Structure 1
Amino acid sequence: MALGFDSFGIAPADARPDLPEKLNAALAAGWHGDMAWMADTAERRGSPTQLWAGAKSIIVLGINYGPESDPLALLGEPTLGAISVYARNRDYHEIIKGKLKELAGLLARRSGAEVKVFVDTAPLMEKPMAEAAGLGWQGKHTVLVSRAFGSWLFLGAILTAAELPLDKPHAESCGSCTKCLDVCPTNAFPAPFQLDARRCLAYLSVEHKGQIPLEFRVPMGNRIYGCDDCLAVCPWNKFASVSREARLRARDELERPALADLVQLDDAGFRALFAGSPVKRIGLARFLRNVLIGIGNSADIGLLPLVEARLADESALVRGAAIWALRRLAPERATALSQTYLLREDNPDVASEWTVDLA
């Protein structure tokens, strides 16, 4: 397409009457974690027609963001930080929304019907609607899978009051494959096609505002923003080409960043490095939390001075992660420093990091 979309399909706005029941079951199980906005918007999220009563058709579009190399290879280099493929360049919301508005404007002019544009931030369930529109199917990892682009599609949607010609829904085509489930380092899938975000490293490293739960810190490895494991092992990726959209190609400095450099960032440096990137939205403290977990898993004692420099950080989140990293890398050094820092610490959660069982 001239606008740079790689996939396109149309479904009735009411194509998935099963969504409210599935959504409510997931919310009742608590799988959304502390993403309270999912529960707050559940009624509208359950159906596009609840979001906009005038909607008749939904156009779902996808942009391929297939990486140039295997993102899992970086997990074998523990002194480097692994940033999810989707976040290695400009925020995809900005890229897609402009294109969608242009297409929606053209549709509105030609049809005379009202249109509304959505990119992820609105309470619209794009993946099941993309399945209904024939772009692909939701795989066992709950991500949309395309025969042409594997698991690497950014999605956007246009709701319209026009009744448009419809595409056939795509049948689920995972077969007996369970690679995406088997590779998950934290067992975040209660069953195929179900995801418990509370155990998902993509959620924990991005959406979760507190300390990373102890049981997930070692499995987190050097994943400092997001997790691509279940996407990257999908066999359908073999048909996916590298993204043709230049603005979605990874920036060199975000492909193989050194943890030693990242842990030294101040707020200005963080904002400069991640300008225009979705990483910037989590803020410096959460980012440093993730980096320090990565350092704790690196086995590189040469990073100890950088860890110790964060023990007195103004952020309790950063201090707590620094203590864990120190105890992982140098238990005896941690014991020697513990009393000094415990005397200064007024946050009980941070203080407990000095004594909690790491096993």
Structure 2
Amino acid sequence: MKAALDAKAREEGFAKMRVCRPDAIPDAAGRLAEFVDKGRHGQMGWMAERMHWRGDPATLWPEARSVIMLAEPYTPEADPLEALELRDRATISVYAQNRDYHDIVKKRLKRLGRWLLEQAPEEQIKVFVDTAPVMEKPLAEAAGLGWQGKHTNLLARDLGNWFFLGSIFTTLDLPPDAPEVDHCGNCTACLDICPTDAFPAPFQLDATRCISYLTIEHHGPVDEALRPLMGNRIYGCDDCLAVCPWNKFAVAATEMRYAARPELRGPRLADLALLDDAGFRAMFSGSPIKRIGRGRFVRNVCYAIGNSNDPALIPAAQALVEDEDPVVADAARWAVERLR
């Protein structure tokens, strides 16, 4: 059954599949509690509210006997670090340059799950993609899919680190795989490149300093000390992923809906600053970017304009200093003052 499931998973487009038990991550609860106790989760209150489920997958669905972990690559065609030099343009995290991966991966998981139930009709399944209180990365490590690197993201010797994770919890008792071990060695490339020093130590992340958190999860104004460090990153940050040496083994993405839309390959900051709510929703329909809303998005655009060192962008920021969203107005004023 497991061999047939692996073959079916690859047929569906997944690059790798491994299995673990729901109780395979006994240290996760303590690590999560320490992360929250130190306030490193910032405004992500949902991490604290659901710790009892997140820290122990066995409590999420006690009937589950196996967790099937799957990887789906979204490897970029070009080096995302190159776009950081185009200061009058925006950089958007690779995973968000086209369709929302939640929808694509979940549909794939459901198809695979339906096939599994056809083979074992007496069993049950639940599928998860990043939106439930499931610690995918520790589970994936326990299943042998890869390991959590010093940047806390999952990477694998045969995949690099450009891949999404999905999980299928099932009552079917499948033989588990051996957990993966750390293969980072003495490398600190991911820690060294971080623009905001968001890693207090190897294998630890302070989300409140991470640009991905600041541009996506953080509501309100960003600390003025951090704004200059954000550069032209307006949605997410790929720096620590992009420098990982294991990416020399990265698998090419096969899903065309992950390929960057032309209009999101280095869009002009001046154009993005013009977006009203309707324009924002139209531009990012079906995109993960849509969920942060026009206000937070244009706030990020203003910070990027302020970091552009391009006085020609002053009018774009000036037009927003009286924006009805006070956070956008604050960011626009900061940009204008910085450019002047």
Whether the 8 Å CA contact 2:144–2:177 is kept in 1: the answer is yes
C-alpha separation in 2, matches of 1:188 and 1:299: 24
1:297 and 2:292 matched:
no
Report Cα offsets for 1:217-247 as digits up to 9, x if no partner: 0010000000000000000011113312111
Partner of 1:242: 252
C-alpha separation in 1, matches of 2:251 and 2:244: 14
Whether the 8 Å CA contact 2:17–2:70 is kept in 1: the answer is yes
Report Cα offsets for 1:267-326 as digits up to 9, x if no partner: 111111111110110000000000000000001111111111101100001000001001
Secondary structure at 1:13 match in 2? coil
Secondary structure at 1:209 match in 2? coil
Corresponding letter in the other structure for 1:204? L
1:38 and 2:47 matched:
yes
Corresponding letter in the other structure for 1:142? T
Which of 259, 272, 277 does residue 262 from structure 1 map onto?
272
1:175 and 2:197 matched:
no
Moved over 6 A (4+): none
C-alpha separation in 1, matches of 2:315 and 2:330: 16
Which of 293, 301, 312 does residue 322 from structure 2 map onto?
312
C-alpha separation in 2, matches of 1:148 and 1:275: 33
Corresponding letter in the other structure for 1:249? A
Q: CA deviation at 1:149?
A: 1.8
Whether the 8 Å CA contact 2:71–2:166 is kept in 1: the answer is yes
Which of 287, 300, 304 does residue 297 from structure 2 map onto?
287
Q: CA deviation at 1:165?
A: 1.7
320-329 or 166-175, which deviates more = 166-175
C-alpha separation in 1, matches of 2:141 and 2:311: 48
Q: CA deviation at 1:187?
A: 0.6
Report Cα offsets for 1:74-117 as digits up to 9, x if no partner: 11110110000000010000000001011111212322211100
Partner of 1:141: 151
Whether the 8 Å CA contact 1:48–1:55 is kept in 2: the answer is no
Partner of 1:204: 214
Report Cα offsets for 1:14-44 as digits up to 9, x if no partner: 1111111111111111110010000000000
Which of 192, 195, 203 does residue 185 from structure 1 map onto?
195
Q: Which runs of 5+ in 1 are unaligned?
A: 331-359
C-alpha separation in 2, matches of 1:4 and 1:247: 13
Which of 57, 61, 79 does residue 48 from structure 1 map onto?
57
Partner of 1:334: none
Partner of 2:135: 125
Whether the 8 Å CA contact 1:134–1:170 is kept in 2: the answer is yes
Whether the 8 Å CA contact 2:41–2:207 is kept in 1: the answer is yes
1:229 and 2:235 matched:
no
TM-score computed with the length of structure 1 as normaliser: 0.91
Whether the 8 Å CA contact 1:66–1:149 is kept in 2: the answer is no
> Any residues of structure 2 matched to 1:1-12 within 5 Å, and which?
1-12=10-21
Q: Which runs of 5+ in 2 are unaligned?
A: 1-9
C-alpha separation in 2, matches of 1:18 and 1:204: 28
Q: CA deviation at 1:171?
A: 0.9
Whether the 8 Å CA contact 2:160–2:251 is kept in 1: the answer is no
Percent identity over paired residues: 55
Number of aligned residues: 330
Whether the 8 Å CA contact 2:68–2:167 is kept in 1: the answer is yes
User: Highest CA radius of gyration, 1 or 2?
Assistant: 1
Secondary structure at 2:17 match in 1? strand
Secondary structure at 2:164 match in 1? strand
Secondary structure at 1:157 match in 2? strand
Secondary structure at 2:12 match in 1? coil
Secondary structure at 2:11 match in 1? coil
Which of 17, 32, 38 does residue 26 from structure 2 map onto?
17
CA RMSD of aligned residues (A): 0.8
Whether the 8 Å CA contact 1:285–1:317 is kept in 2: the answer is yes
TM-score computed with the length of structure 2 as normaliser: 0.96
C-alpha separation in 1, matches of 2:205 and 2:248: 24
Secondary structure at 1:154 match in 2? strand
Q: CA deviation at 1:248?
A: 1.1
Corresponding letter in the other structure for 1:233? V
Partner of 1:158: 168
Partner of 2:72: 63
